[in-house]
Amino acid sequence: MVKDDSSKQLPARLRTLPGDDVRQIMWRFADRFDYQMVVQSARAVARGPVARAVAKGARNSHEWTEDKAALLHEFDAAGITSAAVDPEYGGYIEGPKNFVLGLLAYELAWVDAGAGTSSMANTLALAPIHERGTPEQKQTYMSRSVPPLPGDSRKIWRGAFALTESIPYVGVDTGVLSGRVRVAEWNDSEEPLLHVDKRGRFITNMGSANFVTAAVDSGDPRIKGSCMVILEETDPGTFDRGIPTRKLAHQLSSTRDPIFSLQVPASRIIGGYTVKDGVIIPNYSHADVIEAVFTRTRATPAIMTSAKLLSAVEPVIRYHRRRFRGAAGINEGTPRFDMGLQQKEDALHRLLDVWAAGEAGASLGFETARLLDTYDAIEKAKAAVLAQQGIAGGRAELKALRAREKDATEYVALAARRTPSPEESARLAMLDADPVVKFIVTESLSSVLIPAAKLWNTGHGVNMMREAVSMMGGYGITEDCPGFLGLKWIDGQLEATYEGPEVVQRRQLSVTMSRPIFLRQFQAWIAHLNAISREHPAMGAGTLASAMELWFWSREYLSTAKDAYGRDLYSNQRHGVTYPLADALAWLVATYHLVLDVLELKRKGPENPALAEGIEGLVSFYTDLTHIHAATAAGEATRICAELVFGYRAESDPALEVLASTVDVFKDVAPFNALRTKVDASLAGSKLAKDRAAESLSHVMIPEVLDYPV
């Protein structure tokens, strides 16, 4: 028996991979036992039946097979299906569910994101009804979507969300709808009967759906504009599930191109309608509904990709460590036996990059989900206040909100004050009590965090998943790869695509990131990071703050600068400017939230007796990991900004270059150069952090085998 000297190692090393206690602290659900139970429950399904289905080859078919359908019943039995439903309709979790659905997606995607998508798509189908449905619609479809209790012969209903249409219609552009709704019959004083034609493309859950929430436009002068309607499989007409999509990814979920030609009562218009001068006016257009839906549902796929990266850590360590065991002459106790490929710095450093990307994505994804959990109540309170003023939706609301944006910006500024004066505190309290201000603040943040998470977690996540795959050598690209890493790589590409591909997220960010209220918020983050850096200098918070300053300066500069031909740089159509800037922002935002989560671990970890013996190692490892990631993020952001700031200028005259130094040539962007130098200088120590983290990684204890089959 050896003497345990782990506590004497300096700096303390990471002892074990982070467990539930660590996650509960970092992602702030240590006090939510209902969530913790859902996590355990989903994990058992993911690492049990789901993993067995994958190992058995259930992904090798495009059809909706019994094996795949059986997983839905596993979800039902484990409380996964009803976790999304409010208690009044038969669910069991009180309050908003974005965060808990994120946890569910995380657990399922840890093994197979297709399984996660099956469960998520049901929530997506219900989302239009949840967000904008009438009370009757909610009652009907929510309660039908809850698994029956034992002894109840009721059949559970499953749904699909049909927005995307056959080419050349809806895809990234959701306005080009070809689906049509017409009046089929309308007798006086009776409810109109509608005829709906819709051809969907790539519609998830179509193999099992009993109802579909479909986006359609009016094909009849007696109906105004677009709407979403609910279609049921038994409605008169054609409910053709269509051919299965020959997917390369997520094969455990069902995706098909359905064709609907059905008669439905007008009461199926989501959110209801009014009749004016013989015309049916839906209360919500399809655009209104999908905006509400995508606001709530995009954090979930973002979390899925991050889960995959984090799930890759253990299999890669195990593979590397054991790579040479059993070979002749490689005996127990030798470094080659004990550490295998982990003797090589590159193997360790690359895995740290994968790990850090997973952590930052998870931090951003879960923060976004937590923010969204506050959204519903804030939105309702805002609507109530505006209603009192006679303002209900549409342009009038936008105008009313715009009028208050200055107050909201002031709120953000005051909230960031470390030592506010009494007057400032009083003003802050007043603004804080104003639901309209609160809404604008929350919305300005969520409209950045959601696209940033969806864009960065999935886009950069897939790139890093490729890194993880390559670390497994040839195995990585086989079905036998422990942890299904190769499958996860291609799965991530789908998460980057559905619910709005990267371009959609970049487009949204290019608008929301330039709102003064967000920029104010961003400056508050910089100040916060500088304060953190003073207190915790080893985290890389200073590097991140410098990179954020540089981004801020670059955005300001680009917003008024012109290219060599005198054309505006920051404009709607100049994707070459705004989109990369959005990418750079997403790097920074993700890293900022990792810093916050690691600080939380530093603060709350020591209070948990179960972590006591390892907390020092955990904190120092996570501090180093954050530092590593801050350096990478700063590097990315700096590179992008430099390209944008300098790239649109005319090539410099070589003759001039001989005469003057570069600094002189670009005098007008001197602040940029100064900021860039500051970022560069702040990188001091970041590679040392990587060496330390690598040392931890080469010693961390991992389980003997993976806890799910291959």
Partner 1 sequence: MSTGFHVVVLGSLVPDLLQTLEPVQGPSGPALKNELMLPAVLDPWAAHALFEAAHVAAATPGSKVWLVSLGPKAKLQQLMMSIAQKVPFELVAVDGSASGFTDPVDVAEALAGAIEKIPSLDRSRLLLFGGCASASRDAGVTVQLVGERLGITDQFLAADELTVSAEGVLTVLERVEGGRYLVSEVAGPPCAIAWATGNLPEPPNNPQVGMMNMRTIMPALQKAPAIQFASQGTVFQSVELPKQERRTRIVRDVPLDEMAREIADWIKG
Ligand X SMILES: Cc1cc2nc3c(=O)[nH]c(=O)nc-3n(C[C@H](O)[C@H](O)[C@H](O)COP(=O)(O)OP(=O)(O)OC[C@H]3O[C@@H](n4cnc5c(N)ncnc54)[C@H](O)[C@@H]3O)c2cc1C
Binding site for partner 1 (CB under 8 A): 1-4, 6, 15-16, 19-21, 33-34, 36-41, 44-45, 77-79, 83, 92, 608-614, 701-705, 707
Given ligand X, partner 1, none, residue 497, with its beta carbon under 5 to 8 Å by kind, binds: ligand X
Given partner 1, ligand X, none, residue 162, with its beta carbon under 5 to 8 Å by kind, binds: ligand X
- The residues, any chain, with a CB within 8 Å of residue 36's CB and separated by 6 or more, are 20, 24, 29
Query: Tokens 């609910």 sit at which residue?
Result: 230
CB of 92 to partner 1, least distance (A): 5
In contact, 436 and 382? CB cutoff 8 Å: yes
- Rounded to whole angstroms, the Cα distance separating 532 from 526 reads 10
CB of 656 to ligand X, least distance (A): 37
Closest CA to 160 of 193, 120, 195: 120
Q: Which is nearer to partner 1, 277 or 704 (CB)?
A: 704
DSSP 509-531: HHHHTTSHHHHHHHHHHHHHHHH
Given partner 1, ligand X, none, residue 547, with its beta carbon under 5 to 8 Å by kind, binds: none
Q: Does 32 bind ligand X (CB under 6 A)?
A: no
Q: How far, in Å, are 555, 574, 606 from residue 642 at the CA level?
A: 11, 17, 42
- Rounded to whole angstroms, the Cα distance separating 420 from 429 reads 12
Given ligand X, partner 1, none, residue 250, with its beta carbon under 5 to 8 Å by kind, binds: ligand X
> For residue 265, what are its two tokens?
């009562």
- Rounded to whole angstroms, the Cα distance separating 192 from 179 reads 19
Q: Which is nearer to ligand X, 206 or 436 (CB)?
A: 206
Q: Does 162 bind ligand X (CB under 6 A)?
A: yes
Given partner 1, ligand X, none, residue 3, with its beta carbon under 5 to 8 Å by kind, binds: partner 1
Q: Which is nearer to ligand X, 255 or 305 (CB)?
A: 255
Q: Which is nearer to partner 1, 94 or 173 (CB)?
A: 94
Q: Where are the strands (E) in 266-304, listed by range?
A: 273-276, 279-282
- Rounded to whole angstroms, the Cα distance separating 140 from 235 reads 16
Residue at 694: amino acid letter? A
> For residue 561, what are its two tokens?
């600068």
Q: Strand pairing of 227-232 and 211-218?
A: antiparallel
523-542: buried (b, 16+ CB within 10 Å) or exposed (e) per residue? bbbbebbbebbeebebbbbb
CB of 595 to ligand X, least distance (A): 31
Residue at 298: amino acid letter? R
Given partner 1, ligand X, none, residue 78, with its beta carbon under 5 to 8 Å by kind, binds: partner 1
Q: Does 64 bind ligand X (CB under 6 A)?
A: no
471-500 footprint of ligand X as x/- string (CB under 6 A): -----------------------x--xxxx
- The residues, any chain, with a CB within 8 Å of residue 454's CB and separated by 6 or more, are 298, 299, 301, 302, 499, 500, 505
In contact, 206 and 256? CB cutoff 8 Å: yes
CB of 179 to ligand X, least distance (A): 11
In eight-state DSSP terms, residue 476 is G
- Rounded to whole angstroms, the Cα distance separating 301 from 551 reads 27
Q: Which is nearer to ligand X, 255 or 508 (CB)?
A: 255
CB of 84 to partner 1, least distance (A): 13
Q: Where are the strands (E) in 117-276, listed by range?
A: 159-162, 180-185, 193-199, 203-204, 211-218, 227-232, 237-244, 255-265, 273-276
Q: Which is nearer to partner 1, 1 or 658 (CB)?
A: 1
CB of 706 to partner 1, least distance (A): 8
Given ligand X, partner 1, none, residue 704, with its beta carbon under 5 to 8 Å by kind, binds: partner 1
Residue of minimal Cβ distance to ligand X: 171
Q: Which of 503, 527, 656, 684 binds ligand X (CB under 6 A)?
A: 503
Q: Which is nearer to partner 1, 374 or 608 (CB)?
A: 608
Q: Which is nearer to partner 1, 531 or 612 (CB)?
A: 612
Given partner 1, ligand X, none, residue 255, with its beta carbon under 5 to 8 Å by kind, binds: ligand X
Given ligand X, partner 1, none, residue 237, with its beta carbon under 5 to 8 Å by kind, binds: none
What's CA 486's distance to the chain center, in Å?
21
245-274 footprint of ligand X as x/- string (CB under 6 A): x-x--x----x-------------------
Q: Which residues 100-159 are close enough to bind ligand X by CB under 6 A?
A: 121
Interacting residues with ligand X (CB under 6 A): 121, 161-164, 171-172, 202-204, 245, 247, 250, 255, 494, 497-501, 503
